[in-house]
Amino acid sequence: MMEQTYYSATMRDRTEREALRGEVVADIVVVGGGFTGVNTALELAGRGYSVVLLEAQRIGWGATGRNGGQVTGSLSGDMALQKHLARRIGKEAAADFVWGLRWQGHDIIRERVARHGIDCDLAHGHLHAAWREADMRELRAFAAQAQRRGMGDAVVLLDRDGVQDALETPLYDGGLLNRNNMHLHSLDLCRGEAAAAEGMGVRIFEQSAVTGIVPGDHPVVKTATGQVTADTVILCGGAYHRLEAKTLNGRLFPAALGNMATEPLTPEEARAINPHNLAVYDTRFVLDYYRLTADHRLLFGGGANYSGKASDDIAGELRPALERTFPRLAGIGIEFAWSGQAGIVPNRVPMLGRSAPNIWYAQGYSGHGIATSHIVAGIMAEAVAGTMERFDHFASVPHAKNPFGERAGQGMLALGMWWYRMREATGI
């Protein structure tokens, strides 16, 4: 049973799959039924491997089915990754690699949707909104880089008046409109991709939480009711698993992200507040993000809780920000409110690596997961097949381990986020 979110309430594919029972053999077992796991399985099946996917709950149950639905060229830890790679492959090659990486997920998603006929409310258009005039400097620099790299037709800088033409809001001193970025029903996308993977021979088992992994030349992945023996294991559980603790504990921390969806707006209200159907997020470190859904609701998120604990009143905490953004919607009914856990990595660079020669992991997108997960899935599949270059770029990035344990690390992360909130609130 899926927890009630806007996505689970409106998802098109309601297939429920059986739990793993007994012993199964495969070339590769993928752990985790979110975007990374499903797409890694799909990529591997396309390369001819026999693949089993194990999901502890239902396909898309975790962060994949709980996010804001925005597909943007934002790449967490991009500058840290670029700086690291500059020492590895040279400054220019590193800049090219990171820039290209930003947009590969978009192409993969569009191709998946078209090839497999996935109905997921895919729409184009996104605004990166400047919270204050000083933030326009960064947006101008990004626009200039996009122009140099041939994306000039897709990217437009807006001043304050331009933003107010695009959104009925008193906020923002400008913004960057990006027509290449997208938004969509993320759970429908993932479940459509899972169906496509099954069509390619992937065996998917739900309600099959992994209880342990026995390493070896042919590792055995155990659940409460069965086990899979494989040549290779790939862990794609993000913030929702505690496997391979010796390698992974203290390197990734869950943050609770709150989202809510209003009652349906009238078509007139929807056109008034967001006439071009843009997805939006602002330039703050702890930001707000929102978009219209296909059935004219406002889906609004923000206020990440870096203690890792979900709020008891998500709608109550988010409503002031919604009404500040769109005064027209003061008092509007909230029909869905939910939280999900994003895996936060201190340096923000996604974690790709191995805990043993045949046990791989991919996690830690720090709130930028939809596009990034699709890119990472391809990187993991090509690495398992023997093409290691892109995997090695990520695997070579050092990720510090908190020596005081996860709880202390979570507290330090929460303190750091509080500092950023205060800094932005006071305009320092």
Packed helices 369-384 and 91-116: angle between N→C axes, nearest 10 degrees: 100
| CA neighbor of 369 nearest in space, from 121, 44, 39, 45 | 39
Least trusted range by pLDDT, from 173-187, 250-264, 399-413: 399-413
Residues 35 and 173 in one domain: no
- What is the 8-class DSSP label of residue 366? T
Residues 29 and 173 in one domain: no
Residues 258 and 244 in one domain: no
Give yes or no for residue 136 having a pLDDT over 70: yes
CATH number at residue 25: 3.50.50.60
DSSP run (H or E) holding 356: strand 351-356
Residues 9 and 79 in one domain: yes
What is the Cα–Cα distance from 321 to 327, expressed in whole angstroms?
A: 10
What is the Cα–Cα distance from 64 to 240, expressed in whole angstroms?
A: 11
pLDDT at 420: 45
User: What percentage of the chain exceeds 90 in pLDDT?
Assistant: 79
Q: Tell me the chain's radius of gyration from C-alpha atoms.
A: 21
User: 336: domain range?
Assistant: 124-183+253-344+403-428
Q: Which tens digits make up the pLDDT trace of 140-175?
A: 999 999 999 999 899 999 999 999 999 999 999 999
Residues 363 and 286 in one domain: no
pLDDT at 405: 57
Residues 340 and 367 in one domain: no
Place of tokens 């012993």: 23
Mean pLDDT confidence for 348-365: 94
Give yes or no for residue 1 having a pLDDT over 70: no
How many residues are recorded in the chain?
A: 428
Residues 214 and 228 in one domain: yes
pLDDT at 36: 97
Residues 314 and 388 in one domain: no
Residues near 118 by beta carbon (within 8 Å), at least 6 away in sequence: 112, 188, 189, 192, 193, 196
Both tokens of 18, joined, read 């059986």
Give yes or no for residue 424 having a pLDDT over 60: no
Residue 422 pLDDT grade (very low, low, confident, very high; cuts 50, 70, 90): very low
Residues near 425 by beta carbon (within 8 Å), at least 6 away in sequence: none
Residues 189 and 240 in one domain: yes
CATH number at residue 142: 3.30.9.10
pLDDT at 418: 43
Give yes or no for residue 419 having a pLDDT over 60: no
pLDDT at 343: 84
pLDDT at 238: 77
Residues 50 and 105 in one domain: yes
pLDDT at 332: 98
Mean pLDDT confidence for 207-221: 97
- The residues with which 338 forms a beta bridge, in sequence order, are 259
Residue 180 pLDDT grade (very low, low, confident, very high; cuts 50, 70, 90): very high
Residue 312 pLDDT grade (very low, low, confident, very high; cuts 50, 70, 90): confident
Residues 146 and 39 in one domain: no
Average pLDDT in the chain: 92
| CA neighbor of 109 nearest in space, from 47, 194, 193, 177 | 193
Domain count, the chain: 2
Mean pLDDT confidence for 413-423: 48
DSSP strand E in 45-173: where?
51-54, 70-71, 123-129, 155-159
Residues 153 and 27 in one domain: no
Using DSSP bridges, classify how beta strands 279-282 and 70-71 pair: parallel, antiparallel or unpaired. unpaired
pLDDT at 366: 86
Question: What does each C-alpha distance from 369 to 45, 70, 322 come to in angstroms?
Answer: 22, 9, 23
Helices and strands (H and E) in the chain: how many: 13, 19
User: What percentage of the chain exceeds 70 in pLDDT?
Assistant: 92
| CA neighbor of 30 nearest in space, from 376, 393, 370 | 376
Q: Which tens digits make up the pLDDT trace of 247-288?
A: 888 888 888 889 999 999 999 999 999 999 999 999 998 899
